[in-house]
Structure 1
Amino acid sequence: MAAGAQRSIHIRKATPEDVATVSKLGAHIFTVTFGHSVPAKELQSFLEDSYSISATEKDLKDPMKDMVVASNQDGAILGFALLTRGSTEPCLSHLESTVELQRIYVDPNHHGKGVGRLLANKLEEIARGEGFKHIWLGVWEENNNAQGMYEKLGYRRVGHHDFTIGEIVQTDDIMTKEL
């Protein structure tokens, strides 16, 4: 990606005015990425629980989370991500001071343009500033594109966990990076 194109992407903390757009974008991206792998009823229930306006507002207001958005020069939101404190996984118990990078979601029309990298960099910067030593994430074992991006950013697989959507149980790889 050209440096000029990346410079036209702005990363900032999300505001209450972003909630509706982030909610809609999150539901869209989740559906496009995972919708084929779960029954429609289960998908709809999960979207309500995780990407409704109220769920997105809750994430934004949660003092244990930071939500950041990526926007273009016109202010349109291209993606978002969460940094979540206080979460952990058994395969991380040997690591000191961990924080979770959660939901790097980028509009599919902007994949491959560096938006995800900029979001990840911002969350890593916040985590370093707060003294965290390691950052971790869970990524669906079948999401090869996301896994490849995380590997390029320096994340390595250290384990896995179950990710449940209704009655469907999928496997997420747990990946971590030293900050």
Structure 2
Amino acid sequence: MNQVIISKASFNELETIQQLGRETFSETFAQSNTAADMKRYLEENFNEHKVRTELSNPDSIFFIAWEDEKAVGYLKVNSGNAQTEIQDHTALEIERIYVRSSHHGKKVGQLLYEKALEIAEDQNKSYVWLGVWEENPRAIRFYEKNGFVTFDKHIFKMGNDEQTDIMMKKNLG
């Protein structure tokens, strides 16, 4: 694998984020969900208006992982009121670490995770938190390996299907 570079995303990469989001979400979750629920989720969460709104929120930051000229993954972190649930100003939420399946096991997720930690430290956050689907053992193991512990659960709506996310956090400092 060539060197992977992590760069902050701008409005110019809106389509890249949309494409990465759709592809990586589908690769990861399509087999476990109905086609109708998947289609609805992708349309609602990766349409141009939604991604543009997220990119323009000063409390949300996107980073793209590039291998040569190809986008292979991305990270979205939220602070303040952009957080999806907790909205604790001493916390940073990792909302998404999405990596193309072709790059699983190649440390791209780790690089994106380390960028999230760097942002949390730069912003003097006390902890980092996230939600991960209870039926995604690969992701759960990844976060546990990186020092996260379970602290709660919440419901994630996937179309008409209510799924349970494990909420995990890692204290910093």
TM-score for the superposition, normalised by structure 2: 0.90
Instruction: Name the residue aligned to 2:111.
Output: 118
Instruction: Name the residue aligned to 1:75.
Output: 69
Which structure 1 residue ranges, 5 or more long, are not aligned? none
Aligned residue-pair number: 170
The answer to whether 1:161 aligns with 2:154 is: yes
The answer to whether 1:143 aligns with 2:136 is: yes
Instruction: Name the residue aligned to 2:52.
Output: 57
Residues 29-40 of structure 1 correspond to what in structure 2 (within 5 A)?
A: 29-40=24-35
Mapped to 2, the partners of 1:177 and 1:32 lie a distance apart of: 27
- Of 81-90 and 147-156, deviating more is 81-90
1:88/1:98 contact within 8 Å kept: no
- Of 133-142 and 51-60, deviating more is 51-60
RMSD across aligned C-alpha pairs, in angstroms?
Answer: 1.9
Mapped to 1, the partners of 2:69 and 2:11 lie a distance apart of: 15
Mapped to 2, the partners of 1:47 and 1:88 lie a distance apart of: 18
Aligned-pair identity in percent equals 35
Residues 4-19 of structure 1 correspond to what in structure 2 (within 5 A)?
A: 8-19=3-14
Letter in 2 for 1:141: E
Mapped to 2, the partners of 1:120 and 1:109 lie a distance apart of: 18
TM-score for the superposition, normalised by structure 1: 0.87
- Which aligned segments of 4 or more residues in structure 1 are displaced greater than 6 angstroms? none
Instruction: Name the residue aligned to 1:44.
Output: 39
Letter in 1 for 2:77: L
The residue matched to 1:171 in structure 2 has which SS?
A: strand
Mapped to 1, the partners of 2:16 and 2:66 lie a distance apart of: 11
